[in-house]
Structure 1
Amino acid sequence: MRSSVLVPVLATLLGLGSAKPTATEQEPPSKRASVPTVTASGNAFWQGDKRFYVRGIDYQPGGSSAMADPLADTTVCQRDIAQFKKLGINTIRVYITDNSANHDECMNALADAGIYVIIDANNPLYSINRLDPGPSYNAVYLQSVFATIDEFVKYDNTMAFFSGNEVINDDVKSTKAARYVKAVTRDMRAYIKSRGYRAVPVGYSAADVAQNRMQLAHYMNCGTDDERSDFFAFNDYSWCNSNFQDSGWDQKVKNFTGYGIAIFLSEYGCLTNGRDFGEVAALMSDKMTGVYSGGLMYEYALEENGYGIAKIPSTKASAVQEQDGFDKFASALKANPAPTGDGGFTSTTRSVACPTKDGNWLVDSTLLPAIPAAAQKMMSNGAGKGPGLKGDGSQNAGGGDSESTGDATPGSGTVSETGKPSGSKNAAAGRAGGPGSVEKAPFVVAGLVAVLTLTGTLLL
């Protein structure tokens, strides 16, 4: 997030909560609006059997300083959903949510509007410290992360979870935090599968740092299957009212061709030289769709940094003031619809070799930290109630079985059996153990029906 307040907080920190692990109560599915769930397969996202492109916007009114959850405030979200409809977006990213609050009304209203949500699992209180990651990777932190999963996995329009945002940046020392971010990604995916949830994709939102961009991308897609991300996203501000070549996007597409998992832009929208949102045309063109799956424009709400396209009123119920960029972004989306067909995606996925240590990349081991014993218990017991946005925080909450002890054996995050599916109506969909799986339940049911029908025919 690009804000004078938000960058130091969310870019330096990255996700952590506290509660006694107890089984999470399920709410009746009938209360929830239903849309087709989005899954990851090959190097793309899918809405059923239709290729899904992220055509959205980053959404955090007030920035990190407000520490507010816009999805827990019905007046705020209903006001802004009306604007989202005018824009014609299909996805929003929310950086801060309250995992102790109920989100039925806003998530249902978004689903009714055909809008998916990508949730950051961290917040400024519960996060990884980029320059001292070891102590901040603890069970108190993971409890908050898992509680966020519990709260949002039940909504069919929860598209994905981010395990972190810009933890690794242009400070070379921050690359040492990559092991812990990757461990969080592993733990989130293992928790989703252990709890029997549908396989909501989990990945990381990276800063676009030239000296370690590809090393970080390869690191998030190397190792055993349980250690790999479902997707990789990065925040790219290199298109400054320019074009595909001058922005360097042509080289990035070339570098990521054959990467192996889905890629999209978690932030874009450079302010230099003005904005006409030519990025949308490029993202929706055949120059990019074989590798990229769209992106999120930064941002909706106008803050001091000047990126927003909607001025939020001081009174919640008052009308939003559309800025100059509002109509321009809406026009760019309308003029460049999502392509039909599969966009030239790659159907198979593959891991890549882990990067080796050098002057720009200080990670010297392929091993990941072992999950803390107290967090491991949550895989079977559940995370319990989340600490919300008023908890004590987790940066210094290690000690005892709350902290990691040593490194994990590769493959330790593999889950061979799952609990009973819970949450959304499509609880069994997608990949939880590795890239590229598809939902098999419909085929199994269809096969059983065919067998029973044939058996009944033979008996007559």
Structure 2
Amino acid sequence: MKSFAALFVLGAYVAPAFAMVVPRKSGNLTPVTVRGNAFFAGEERFYIRGVAYQPGGAADAADPLLDIKSLKRDIENFKKLGINTIRVYTIDNSQDHDEGMKLLDDAGIYLALDANTPKYSLNRETEQTLHRSYNDVYLQSVFATVDAFAGYNNLLLFFSGNEVINAKNNTVAATYIKAVTRDMKQYISNHASRQIPVGYSAADVAENIKQQALFFNCGTEDERADFFAFNDYSWCDPSSFTQSGWDKKVETYKDYSIPLFLSEFGCITNTREWGEIAALYSNNMTGVYSGGLVYEYTVEPNGYGLVEVTPNGNIEPNEDFERLAEAYKKTKNPSGTGGFNENGSPSQCPPPDDEWEVESSLLPTIPENAKQFMNKGAGDGPGLEGDGSHFAGEASMSTATPGSGIPTRTPDGQAANNTGGESAASFGVHIPFQFVGMIAGSVMFGMSLVL
């Protein structure tokens, strides 16, 4: 009887610990990893063939993965295009995305996801607003987005920012973007079941795009991005590999040691014949580039778009869509590993100059109130209706020591190691490190009661 009572008490202590265990959501697709300057799905080189997918544009800021009816309709067009990735700029991190992510997974489509939303992002207006907006309320939302999507195998990567630097006079934003990248990498290692690539999507600002690329790949391992991407509209048909200047960019980044890809492309100055597709997936570029994302899926007021949304909610593909589908169909990936570099070295941090106003490679420390998330988790996301973070919470108070963002836990890698078989679709549990001690203590307490 005494033993039964002790076991009952033991269960009361252990059950809450397991109640906080996060189930893996998984999926059938093989998670993508970084190896050298390329992405891999298992042992196969992975090239991003995708489109930007934000119906309604930035002004609408709706979550397209929650509109299941429209998503099902659009996935049929994704299949016709022959793509393997979509980029979504805004999601609601307070909602469940199982249904939408499963639809994408079943269709063989990965998600490249921006971790910011209009209300929860860095404010680049001045150096003071940048500092103020890098705060614990902002990071709580970013980390909640990580929690919401880290369990899906078809989550390809996270963008820690998009075009925050958009001119030569706001390059001081670089240290804050890189701090967010560092913080996301640490949070993922501390809480997720696998490593998920984190990097930055840059504006192709001619004066400093090279400095941006170098800066995000320099410093200690915890600070460096897992990839670098930029939005490139320099190929305007009729053009070519040399006429567009893409040959010079390949030469510029030939020794770059992490994956590089186009987070947006598709100039609309003239008719889009999509000649860049053949170049982007050729041996001329695949030793340096890992593909890219066409901008964009729905026709918006900016004039870009592959499909028109009619007033009754139907979709009508335009000629851009048809030409792009044909270009993808005619362009195969190179055989083998495409000439990737597995053993590159990190970059040297660029020195300050008239075009690059970053005086130091040192980053701000994570805000004091945000440190708790690394151990306890972020909790529920604020969603798209939250109060916003630009002038909330507590900002960073000092400069970080390089290497201070090293995680306290290494992901077990179970999801990352599967190859799409039965185990890839199964569900498991991930026990956060902080609960191991709680469970062990509960067992010891229960045994003392039994004895």
Q: TM-score, normalised to structure 2's length? A: 0.85
* Displacement after TM superposition at 1:339 (Å): 1.9
Equivalent residue, structure 1, for 2:306: 309
Equivalent residue, structure 2, for 1:348: 343
Indicate conservation of the 8 Å contact 2:31/2:416, yes or no: no
1:188-227 Cα distance to aligned partner (Å, 9 max, x none): 0000001143111000000001100111100000000110
Gap regions ≥5 residues in structure 2: 1-16, 420-451
The structure whose Rg is larger is 2
Correspondence 1:237-386 to 2 at 5 A:
237-241=233-237, 242-315=239-312, 318-386=313-381
Runs of 4+ in structure 1 over 6 Å off: none
The Cα RMSD (Å) is: 1.9
* Displacement after TM superposition at 1:305 (Å): 1.2
Equivalent residue, structure 2, for 1:80: 74
Equivalent residue, structure 2, for 1:413: 405
1:75-111 Cα distance to aligned partner (Å, 9 max, x none): 1211111110111100000000000011111110101
Equivalent AA in structure 1 for residue 388 of structure 2: G
Q: TM-score, normalised to structure 1's length? A: 0.84
* Displacement after TM superposition at 1:296 (Å): 0.4
Equivalent residue, structure 1, for 2:135: 138
* Displacement after TM superposition at 1:427 (Å): 5.4
* Displacement after TM superposition at 1:340 (Å): 2.0
Indicate conservation of the 8 Å contact 2:30/2:418, yes or no: no
Equivalent AA in structure 1 for residue 371 of structure 2: Q
* Displacement after TM superposition at 1:143 (Å): 0.4
Distance 1:412 1:338, change over 3 A: same
Distance 1:302 1:90, change over 3 A: same
1:91-141 Cα distance to aligned partner (Å, 9 max, x none): 000000000011111110101010000000001100001133100000000
Equivalent residue, structure 2, for 1:218: 214
Instruction: Indicate whether 1:45 and 2:39 are aligned.
Output: yes
* Displacement after TM superposition at 1:428 (Å): 6.8
Correspondence 1:96-245 to 2 at 5 A:
96-130=90-124, 131=126, 132-170=129-167, 172-241=168-237, 242-245=239-242
How far apart, CA to CA, are the structure 2 residues paired with 1:163 and 1:23?
31
Equivalent residue, structure 2, for 1:443: none
1:296-323 Cα distance to aligned partner (Å, 9 max, x none): 00000110111101112334xx431111
Distance 1:419 1:111, change over 3 A: closer
How far apart, CA to CA, are the structure 1 residues paired with 2:81 and 2:417?
32
SS in 2 for 1:267: strand
Indicate conservation of the 8 Å contact 1:196/1:427, yes or no: no
Equivalent residue, structure 1, for 2:11: none
How far apart, CA to CA, are the structure 2 residues paired with 1:44 and 1:426?
19
How far apart, CA to CA, are the structure 2 residues paired with 1:136 and 1:25?
30
Q: Give me the identity figure in percent.
A: 54
Equivalent residue, structure 1, for 2:415: 426
Equivalent residue, structure 1, for 2:433: none
* Displacement after TM superposition at 1:33 (Å): 3.1
* Displacement after TM superposition at 1:269 (Å): 0.2
SS in 2 for 1:70: coil
How far apart, CA to CA, are the structure 2 residues paired with 1:250 and 1:418?
39
Indicate conservation of the 8 Å contact 2:151/2:192, yes or no: no
Distance 1:329 1:228, change over 3 A: same
Indicate conservation of the 8 Å contact 1:199/1:428, yes or no: no
* Displacement after TM superposition at 1:28 (Å): 4.5
Equivalent AA in structure 1 for residue 366 of structure 2: I
Equivalent residue, structure 1, for 2:10: none
Indicate conservation of the 8 Å contact 2:37/2:258, yes or no: yes
